[in-house]
Structure 1
Amino acid sequence: MDKLRLLDVFIATCDAGSFAAAAKSCNTDPSTVSKAINRLEAELGFILFQRSTRQLSITAAGRRYADTVRKLLQDLNSCEHELKHLNDSPGGTLRINSAACYGHLYVQPLLQAFCQRYPAIKLQLEINDLHVDIIDNDIDVALRTGLVKDSRLVARRLSPMDFLTCASPDYLAARGTPRCADDFLQHSWIGFRIKQTQQLQPVFLPDQHGSYQPFELQRSHITDDGEAMAAMCADGLGFAQLPHFLAKQGLQSGALVSLYPYYRPPQPDNGVFAIYAKRDYLPARVRVFIEFISSALEVAGESSNHTWAESWPSLLQGNISGRSRADL
């Protein structure tokens, strides 16, 4: 029996006046109550109750101890009630860490509406591409592409991450639209360098059967910033294979066109995830933020299993003719 349980039994005995009555209120038996009081007295080194065959009477030391224990238990109950209320009522500081592009394009535009709905929540927003330890850095929720394999964390997928092969209309007008595999050798490509590995993100294009395969293509330009990559593509510097959240504004405005239907990597860690610490009781501020983001994505045509890119029109059918990828 732990110390807190011993104190509960002690106060029940004080109130009931006997081991039998205390046992009834504690839903146990008199011998268990007697053993608990004996153990508590042994730990304290003084007598709490005088016992006789007819009655149980509290000692002066027991009475003073009971006053302190009652206050301690009341303070504890009050604190637990207050914390539960805070946990059930969205409020306090919400620390968010987001991947840069996703944070700028998807998260930041939603924050005004979120704060209007939950005025008691104060935001601390960190936007960067560093994979920080959210527990060590006291971050409530991180929005990341790719699943973090950490048993201390929960990863809830907000959407897949679909890729679109894009170019500007001006670029296509000046350089032509590729019709076969050989044509790609004559075009400029903008590559993305992954900061964590310093490797170039692979390019996947549909083969003559419409199945996406990795293609080894020379990159004319390289950047490690996704928004810069999309801007360079819109400025006519070449083709770029962009995640759906980077391509969206350019496609909707007409600054970009999609050459092929979307490509979705088959790996289970593909996607955009809300990542937070595993715990028994998720704070309300975290829960409502994830629900708010998910609802906003649903309105925009995205969910855990699909994105708007699935229905976006492309210039060409989902295949290229000509030589195989080995010939490129």
Structure 2
Amino acid sequence: MKIVHEYSCYTRRMDKLRTLEIFIATCDGGTFAAAAKLCCSDPSTVSKAISRLEAQLGFTLFHRSTRQLRVTKAGRHYARAVRKMIQDLSSCENELKHVNDTCQGTLRINCAVCYGHLYLRPLLKEFCRQYPEIKLELEINDLHVDIIESEIDVAIRTGYIEDSRLVARRLSPMDFLICAAPDYLAQNGVPKNREDFHQHSWIGFRIKESLQLQPIFLPDEYGEYLPYELERHHITDDGEAMAHLCMDGFGFAQLPHFLAKHGLDTGELISPYPYFRPPQPDNGVFAIYPKRDYLPARVRIFVEFMTNALAIRGENANNTWASELKVS
């Protein structure tokens, strides 16, 4: 019933706006016939619309005679208010369309913590250099956020939840790499098989929302990654802390590619095994934004910018640089 009521109110508002447009056309045209021509209607429909409007208002808008219409004093006063309202509405529509179609305005971004610090933030300076008319509001957190309720323009998340109101565009898969510090491997050796990992220290990651430990996937003798139960000697709920503990020699960690990249580039980490990619369809890093017929230019430009910036790093919707990494 609520939906029916809201639709009925919306219809009445649209009918009223149409009636006001007919009223102004009648003032300008001087006759119902002229107004009908301006409004692509017919004289009878225009005459009835004016009569209904007068009944709603409770005063006469036109003096009628067989030859002409003459606007009343009340009609002239009402016409001034209606013209201003229509002009203000048209001006507002044009302004909003201009903002929507041009690269300007405030862009509200919500991003997962580790990805935001390691991947997104370093790119924002170049983005703002290219699009100086766009102002940023950046939220960095790992909380579940209702994008529409929070009026977020675009969220960068690892994984996504099915929602018909949203578009989820994958920027890259999320590949995982088994890593350790060179000093740790020099002192403890490289595991030859999955069983050997029982002899090694392992850094675990606790998922904040569920408080569960992130599963560990290790390759079997055929190279297929399967979940494997190992004791975690050290546990953290912060991805960057996990990577740094690994670089500091606390043991092995299975890191997402964006967490492992810095350590592998600097030589502070070594990955002795091929990458692992979870097969789930929601695996990956996604740009998520509200589904709409007219996507604001600032959102479209930002997603395109991220896509191009990641391509320079060797990442796209189907692959990351991890697929080209030579294991040590």
1:91 matched to 2:95: no
Q: 1:134 aligns with which of 147, 152, 160?
A: 147
> Residue type matched to 1:54 in 2?
R
Aligned to 1:278: 291
1:236-247 pair list within 5 angstroms: 236-247=249-260
Q: 2:84 aligns with which of 35, 57, 71?
A: 71
Aligned pairs, how many?
315
> Residue type matched to 1:252 in 2?
D
- Give the distance between the partners of 1:277 and 1:41, measured in 2 at CA: 42
Deviations 1:4-53, CA, capped at 9 Å, x for gaps: 11111111111112222222221222222222212211211112122233
Q: 2:261 aligns with which of 248, 273, 286?
A: 248
Contact 2:178 2:272 in 1 (8 A): yes
- Give the distance between the partners of 2:31 and 2:187, measured in 1 at CA: 96
> Residue type matched to 1:146 in 2?
G
* Cα displacement (A) at 1:278: 3.0
* Cα displacement (A) at 1:277: 2.6
* Cα displacement (A) at 1:164: 0.9
The two structures have a TM-score, normalised by structure 2, of: 0.91
Which deviates more, 229-238 or 130-139? Answer: 130-139
- Which runs of 5 or more residues in structure 2 are unaligned? 1-13
Aligned to 2:32: 19
Which deviates more, 128-137 or 3-12? Answer: 128-137
- Give the distance between the partners of 2:173 and 2:48, measured in 1 at CA: 59
> Residue type matched to 1:208 in 2?
E
- Give the distance between the partners of 2:140 and 2:326, measured in 1 at CA: 31
* Cα displacement (A) at 1:135: 3.0
Aligned to 2:3: none
> Residue type matched to 2:318 in 1?
N
- Give the distance between the partners of 1:18 and 1:210, measured in 2 at CA: 85
Contact 2:193 2:220 in 1 (8 A): no
- Which runs of 5 or more residues in structure 1 are unaligned? 316-328
Aligned to 1:202: 215
- Give the distance between the partners of 2:86 and 2:193, measured in 1 at CA: 77
* Cα displacement (A) at 1:100: 0.8
- Give the distance between the partners of 1:262 and 1:4, measured in 2 at CA: 61
Deviations 1:188-236, CA, capped at 9 Å, x for gaps: 1111100000000001122222222111111111111111111111122
- Give the distance between the partners of 1:40 and 1:65, measured in 2 at CA: 11
Give runs of ≥4 in structure 1 deviating > 4 Å. none
Aligned to 2:194: 181
Q: 1:260 aligns with which of 273, 276, 283?
A: 273
Indicate the percent of aligned positions where both proteins have the same amino acid.
Answer: 70
Aligned to 2:242: 229
SS in 1 for 2:135: strand
SS in 2 for 1:258: coil
- Give the distance between the partners of 1:158 and 1:276, measured in 2 at CA: 13
- Give the distance between the partners of 1:116 and 1:181, measured in 2 at CA: 48
* Cα displacement (A) at 1:292: 1.4
- Give the distance between the partners of 1:182 and 1:297, measured in 2 at CA: 36
